[in-house]
A and B are shown apart, each in its own frame.
Chain A
Amino acid sequence: MRGQSDDMVQLLTPDGTRVEHDEFRFDGTTEDLVGYLKDMILARRFDAEATALQRHGELGLWTPLIGQEAAQVGSAHALRPADVVFPSYREHAVAMVLGVPVTNMLSLFRGSNGGYWEKLDSFKNYQIVIGCQTLHATGYAMGLQLDGAVGNERDDDNAAVIVYHGDGAASQGDVNEAYVFAASYNAPVVFFCQNNQWAISEPIALQSRIPLYQRARGFGFPGVQVDGNDVLAVKAVTDWAMARARAGDGPAFIEAFTYRMGAHTTSDDPTKYRERADEEAWRGRDPIARLTTYLRGMGAIDDAWQDAVEAEAKEFGAAARAAIPTLEATTMERLFDTVYAEPTVALEAQRREYAEFAAALEEDA
C-alpha cells in the first residue's frame, strides 16, 4: 500500500497471524480480545443501522465508520476514566466503548439538538469544522498540566488527552498550530490520526508527500505508524503514547493506517473518484475478519459465540432504530436560554417577540 511504511507496527497480520514487534507488545488477555471483537461487531452494526436510518429520512446525514473499527476500539481501550477525548465526527466506536449513548450521535445527525451530550466531561462534542478540536485538546492538556494532573509519582493521579483527526485535517492550519503548541508546552496530548486514505474525494497524496507519522518529528515529538486495522497493535501503541503523556513526557502522534470502506458521508459517492480494486484490496485487510480468524484459530470463540454476538448486534441495531422517535428536538425556548450563560436584555426582547408570534399563530390555527 502506498504510504505504508516498513516501520508500521503490526501484531496481527491481515490473514489473522499473530506476530511480534520489537518495541510494542500487546499486554491484554484473550478475553480482552474477545471483548474488542464484540465491540467492533456492535459498532459496525450500529453504523450500518444509522446509515439505513439516513436512507429512510430519519437522519439528515451520517458519517459511516465502517473499516475503522479497530483504530477506534483499540485506541478507546487504552483510555482511563480520567483521560479526556476530543473526537472529530466519525468516532462512533470510541464513543460506544466509553459508554456514551449512541442517541447522542443520532440526535446530532437528526438535527434534534446541537449536542446536549451525556458524558461531555470525558467525551467532548463531535467537531464538524475540520481540525478545530486539536487546539481545544491541546489547551485542555495544558490545563491538566497546570492542575498538576501529569507526571505525578502515583500514576493513578495522572491523566492525558487524546484527540482524533483525519488525514485531511493534517493539512489544516489549526492542526499544525496544535502540534506547535503541544510541543512547545510539552502538553499531555496524543494526536490520533486515522489516515483512512480519503478526505471526501481527495487522496492522501494530495495532503502529504510523506507518510504522516514522519511529520511529527519535525514538530518535535515522536510519531508512530500503526496498522489501523489491527486492534492489538492500535491498543499497544496507544497505551504507550497515553502512558508517556500522563507521565509528563509530552505529546505523541499516532498514524493509524486504515481505510474508509464506506462513503465520507451519506451524501457522498465514492464511485466517482476511487477504484473498486482499491476497496477490494482493503477488504482483504478487514479488522473484524482478521481478529475473528485469529480468535477462532485459537479456539477462543466458536459458532455459538458468533451467533450470540450477531443476535446481540441485531438487538442493538433495533434499539437504535427504536430510539429515533424518542429523540426530543430542542425548543426555541431552550436555544434562547443557552446562547449566553448570562442572559441579555436585547435577546430577551427577541425571545418575547418569538413567543408572541408563536402564540398568535397558534390562536389563528
Chain B
Amino acid sequence: MSETLTMAKALNRGLRRALQADPKVLLAGEDIGKLGGVFRITEGLQAEFGENRVVDSPLAESGIIGTAVGLAMRGYRPVVEIQFDGFVFPGFSQIVTQVAKMHMRTGGHTAMPMVIRIPFGGGIGAIEHHSESPEAYFAHTPGLKVVACSNANDAYWMIQQAIQSDDPVVFLEPKRRYHVKGAVNFTARPAPMHQAQVSRYGTDATLLCYGPMVKTCLDAAAVAAEEGTSLEVVDLRTLSPLDWVTIESSARRTKRAIVVHEAPKTLGVGAEIAAKLHEDLFYVMESPVLRVAGYDMPYPPSRVEEEYLPGVDRILDAVDRSLAY
C-alpha cells in the first residue's frame, strides 16, 4: 500500500504511528501542540493523543532535553523537537555530557531511548541561526547515533526506527525538502536505519551525500548523464555510525568518490569519509576523494546562501576534477 506524501506529512504519519504503537512514546517541544510545530510536523497529534503525550515545552532547549533524560530514566521514549538547528546549542551540554554518556557510565544500566529531531540545513531564505548543519558535532560524540532522511518514504520509516532504538538518535530533517512529495510505501519492509542506500546507480564516480544534498546530487547526476558521465549517488542516511559496507562497495566499483554536504568543509563528515577511504582503498581509488561542502564561514545571510551551498554546478566541477585526475 503506497501513497504520495510530502516529507512533512510522512513524518507526521510516522510519529502518529509510533504514538499509536507504544504508550511510552511521547513528544515534547516548543509549539508542537495546538500549533503543530512551526513546520506543522506534529499537526493534529495533540488533539488525537492528548496534552500528556504531545507536550508543549517552555522555551528552554536544555530543559527540553534534560527533562527528556529524566523521562527516559523513568521508562518513557521521549521524542523532542528542536525548533531550528541553530537553537540546539543551548541543549548541547545535556546532549553531549548526559545523553551520550549515560549508558556507558552506568555500565549499561540506564539506556537513553530518546530521539532529538532537528530541522537542519539552509536554502529557505531564512534569517540567521535558522539554516545550520550541526551534524559533525553530534557524529563526533560517541554514544549518540545520527541519521538524516532525504525523502518521504525514509522519513516515515526512519522516524519510527529511531523511536524504537534503545540508543539516543539525533534525527536530522532537511527542512528545505519538507514539502517535496514522494511515494511512501506503508507495507514494504524498510531498510535498516543504519544502512546507506544507492539512490542512483552509475559507473564513473560516486557522489556520497545525505539529507538535503541527495536531491541536489540526483539532479547533478541527471545533468551528467546527458553529458555521458554515469554518476552513482549514495544516500548515506546514517552519519553515526557510517555504513562503510555500502560506501566502500560503491567506491570499489566506481573508484572515484566525492562527498557533498552543506556543513563547513573542515573536519566535517566528508573529512571522515575521505580519510577512511584512503585508509581502506588506497590502491583501489583512481583519484583522491574530493569534498564539495559549505565554506569555512558562519552560515551567510540568505541573499547569498546559494553561492555558499553546494549546487549542481559545483558538484559537476568536482566530478570533472576527479575524472581528470
Given A132-B98, A337-B108, does the pair A345, B73 have CB atoms closer than 8 Å?
no
Q: Is the CB of B110 within 8 A of A346?
A: no
Query: Bound state CA distance, A139 and B67, in angstroms?
Result: 4
Q: Is the CB of A341 within 8 A of B76?
A: no
B105 part of interface (Cβ distance < 8 Å): yes
Query: Bound state CA distance, A146 and B75, in angstroms?
Result: 11
CB distance from A54 to the nearest CB of B (A): 21
Q: Is the CB of A140 within 8 A of B107?
A: no
Bits for B5-26, please: 1 = Cβ < 8 Å to A, else 0.
0000000000000000000001
B106 cross-chain contacts in A, Cβ below 8 A: 114-117, 120, 125
B242 cross-chain contacts in A, Cβ below 8 A: 346
Q: Is the CB of B108 within 8 A of A174?
A: no
Q: Is the CB of A113 within 8 A of B97?
A: no
A254 part of interface (Cβ distance < 8 Å): no
Given A143-B74, A143-B75, A341-B167, does the pair A135, B69 have CB atoms closer than 8 Å?
yes
Query: Bound state CA distance, A138 and B220, in angstroms?
Result: 49
Q: Is the CB of B70 within 8 A of A115?
A: no
Q: Is the CB of B166 within 8 A of A341?
A: yes
Q: Is the CB of A342 within 8 A of B108?
A: no
Query: Bound state CA distance, A247 and B103, in angstroms?
Result: 32
Query: Bound state CA distance, A134 and B70, in angstroms?
Result: 9
B182 part of interface (Cβ distance < 8 Å): no
User: Which of A1-9, A29-37, A178-186 lies at the interface?
Assistant: A178-186
Residues of chain A in range 44-62 having any CB-CB distance to chain B below 8 Å: none
Q: Is the CB of A115 within 8 A of B142?
A: no
B37 part of interface (Cβ distance < 8 Å): no
B58 part of interface (Cβ distance < 8 Å): yes
Q: Is the CB of B107 within 8 A of A136?
A: no
Query: Bound state CA distance, A291 and B67, in angstroms?
Result: 39
A144 part of interface (Cβ distance < 8 Å): yes
Q: Which B-chain residue is minimally distant from A86 (CB atoms)?
A: B70
Query: Bound state CA distance, A177 and B59, in angstroms?
Result: 9
Given A132-B98, A144-B74, does the pair A116, B66 have CB atoms closer than 8 Å?
no
CB distance from B277 to the nearest CB of A (A): 14
Q: Is the CB of B241 within 8 A of A346?
A: yes
Q: Is the CB of B110 within 8 A of A340?
A: no
Bits for B285-304, please: 1 = Cβ < 8 Å to A, else 0.
00000000000000000000
Residues of chain B in range 240-274 having any CB-CB distance to chain A below 8 Å: 241-245
Q: Which A-chain residue is minimally distant from B78 (CB atoms)?
A: A139
Q: Is the CB of A138 within 8 A of B70?
A: yes
B236 part of interface (Cβ distance < 8 Å): no
A140 cross-chain contacts in B, Cβ below 8 A: 70-71, 73-74
Given A125-B106, A341-B167, A345-B245, does the pair A181, B58 have CB atoms closer than 8 Å?
yes
Q: How many of A's residues come within 8 Å of B, CB to CB?
A: 43
A335 part of interface (Cβ distance < 8 Å): yes
CB distance from B64 to the nearest CB of A (A): 9
CB distance from B240 to the nearest CB of A (A): 8
B215 part of interface (Cβ distance < 8 Å): no
Bits for B204-245, please: 1 = Cβ < 8 Å to A, else 0.
000000000000000000000000000000000000011111
Bits for B54-71, please: 1 = Cβ < 8 Å to A, else 0.
000110101101111111
Q: Is the CB of A115 within 8 A of B71?
A: no
B145 part of interface (Cβ distance < 8 Å): yes
Q: Is the CB of A139 within 8 A of B62?
A: no
Q: Is the CB of A342 within 8 A of B71?
A: no
Query: Bound state CA distance, A341 and B169, in angstroms?
Result: 12
A184 cross-chain contacts in B, Cβ below 8 A: 58
A267 part of interface (Cβ distance < 8 Å): no
A143 cross-chain contacts in B, Cβ below 8 A: 70-71, 73-76
Bits for B90-127, please: 1 = Cβ < 8 Å to A, else 0.
10011001100101111111110100000000000000
A110 cross-chain contacts in B, Cβ below 8 A: none
Q: Which B-chain residue is minimally distant from A128 (CB atoms)?
A: B97
| Of the residues A113, A147, A178, A341, contact of B63 by C-beta under 8 Å | A178
Query: Bound state CA distance, A136 and B167, in angstroms?
Result: 17
CB distance from B140 to the nearest CB of A (A): 13
Query: Bound state CA distance, A339 and B111, in angstroms?
Result: 10
Query: Bound state CA distance, A116 and B102, in angstroms?
Result: 11
B113 cross-chain contacts in A, Cβ below 8 A: 341
Query: Bound state CA distance, A136 and B73, in angstroms?
Result: 8
B310 part of interface (Cβ distance < 8 Å): no
Query: Bound state CA distance, A141 and B76, in angstroms?
Result: 12
A206 part of interface (Cβ distance < 8 Å): no
| Of the residues A135, A139, A173, A345, contact of B244 by C-beta under 8 Å | A345
Given A114-B107, A135-B62, A174-B63, does the pair A142, B93 have CB atoms closer than 8 Å?
no
Q: Which B-chain residue is minimally distant from A129 (CB atoms)?
A: B97
Query: Bound state CA distance, A295 and B293, in angstroms?
Result: 74
B130 part of interface (Cβ distance < 8 Å): no
Q: Which A-chain residue is minimally distant from B57 (CB atoms)?
A: A181
CB distance from A301 to the nearest CB of B (A): 40
B52 cross-chain contacts in A, Cβ below 8 A: 146
Q: Which B-chain residue is minimally distant from A337 (CB atoms)?
A: B108
Bits for A309-343, please: 1 = Cβ < 8 Å to B, else 0.
00000000000000000000010001101111110
10 A-B pairs (CB sep. < 8 Å)? A114-B106, A135-B66, A137-B70, A139-B67, A142-B71, A177-B58, A330-B107, A341-B111, A341-B167, A345-B244
Beyond A137-B70, A146-B52, A341-B108, 16 additional pairs, beta carbon < 8 A: A114-B101, A117-B106, A125-B106, A135-B62, A139-B66, A139-B71, A140-B70, A143-B73, A146-B26, A147-B74, A174-B66, A178-B67, A339-B142, A341-B103, A341-B167, A345-B245
Closest 9 CB pairs between A and B? A139-B70, A135-B66, A143-B74, A116-B107, A139-B67, A177-B63, A114-B105, A140-B70, A341-B166
Give A residues with C-beta under 8 Å from B: 113-117, 120, 124-125, 129, 132, 134-144, 146-147, 173-174, 177-178, 180-181, 184, 330, 334-335, 337-342, 344-347
